[in-house]
Amino acid sequence: MANQIIILARSLPFHHLGGMEIVAWDLAVELKNKGYQVSVITTDFDTDIEKEIDGPTLIKLKNIPRGKYSAGWWKKTAETMLAWENKNEVCAVISISAGAFGVLKHKDKFPYARFIMQAHGTSMGELVSKLKTKKIKKALSAVKNIIGFISDAKHYRAFDWIVAVGDAVYDDLNAFPTRIICTPKKIIKIENGIDQNIFTDSQSERERLRNLFAIQQNTLVFMSASRLHEQKGVDTNIRLFASIKNKIHNAKYIICGDGPYEAQLHKIVQDYGLAEDILFLGAKTRRELSLIMQCADIFLFLTKRIEGLPLNILEAMSAGLPLIISEHLSFEASEKIIKCNAACVDNDSMVDDILNMLSYGRESYIKDKNTLTYSVDKYISLIQSNNK
């Protein structure tokens, strides 16, 4: 019986800690834990992680650009797959985003394999997101998304399944014009899954961490975790925090992450005179993030992008943290979730909403469908399906 799974991902958490990278690696690890022989084809990286973990087999393609698609990626992934021994033993080839586009031409050589694409977004969805910024530079870069759509049109129908990681991606795949290049019956939604063994609602380290960061135990602590990219809305988080700080003076904001927008964010903090109240901690591992969440009271994510199903929000929910998030994200407002837009940062009622939200206590409220175990079981169902 075929028991090998090949995953193609241009980048993993060992390149940088993005949502797509984390989801890909979690899937690979959990599939191995379920008894499959899992190999992950990726670009080269410096960390010698193979010696540190008993995980999936890593195949690092050398002498090509790291963490990105390139002519070398398409060529070497195709060559690697063509040279694969025991092709009859492969039960699934999983493409993280467009990772396997270059190997689809060899699909017929893997007779027992389901070819599955894990879609984290669509070219048209990204194009719309860029145009909504109303910035010339972003609009001009949308040309890349048009080229991407043409590439998608050449490859989507070759997959046995296309998995949308959330409602936004699922809707984009089924919306015009993307729906005309897909086979609708092959599109399925499997939402991102969080490892609850890492992100728990424990607060056993709260006091120690607050002492470490020189934060008083009664301080209201906000936090965010994302790439420091303009589209991620950390600047909006800062403006919201500044507004709240005017009303709740004993407050701090912890920013986790790094990226190209970091210098601009530091300037915004200086302009608001908040250098003593906002901590930039840089990029953190997931286990480090889970600990920092114990130190925090509220999670902020006022992203400007059209997001699929943001992993950072699910991690915060698993940790029991209340949320203040962008109104366009596909989460329903509740006693633990405040949704708002950029204009709401000066809303006087926000403080009352926050205090009410904190009164519900700290307990995980992530849905079963967003746990890692549930998500991986759904993938296994696809792998074992008869859709060939």
The predicted structure's pLDDT at residue 19: 85
Instruction: For residue 155, give the nearest of 207, 107, 84 by alpha carbon.
Output: 107
* 3-state SS track over the chain: CCCEEEEECCCCCCCCCCHHHHHHHHHHHHHHHCCCEEEEEEECCCCCHHHCCCCCEEEEECCCCCCCCCHHHHHHHHHHHHCCCCHHHEEEEEEECCCCHHHHHHHHHCCCCEEEEEECCCHHHHHHHHHHCCCHHHHHHCHHHHHHHHHHHHHHHHCCEEEECCHHHHHHHCCCCHHHHCCHHHEEECCCCECCCCCCCCCCCHHHHHHHCCCCCCCEEEEEECCCCHHHCHHHHHHHHHHHHCCCCCEEEEEECCCCCHHHHHHHHHHHCCCCCEEEEECCCHHHHHHHHHHCCEEEECCCCCCCCCHHHHHHHHCCCCEEEECCCCCCCECCEEEECHHHHHCCCHHHHHHHHHCCCCCCCCCHHHEHHHHHHHHHHHHCCCCC
332 CB-side CA count, 13 A: 5
Residue 61 to residue 65: CA distance in whole angstroms: 9
pLDDT, position 347: 63
Q: What is the pLDDT at residue 377? A: 98
Q: At what angle do helices 234-245 and 350-358 cross, to 10 degrees?
A: 90
Nearest of 18, 13, 15 to residue 228 by alpha carbon: 18
Q: State pTM to two decimals.
A: 0.84
Residues 6+ apart with CB under 8 A from 125: 168, 169, 172, 178, 306
Residue ranges in the chain whose pLDDT is less than 50: none
pLDDT in tens, 155-186: 999 999 999 998 889 999 999 999 999 999 99
Q: Tell me, what's the pLDDT at 140?
A: 77
In a 13 Å sphere around the CA of 298, the CA atoms on its Cβ side amount to 31
The strand pair at 278-282 and 187-189 is best described as unpaired
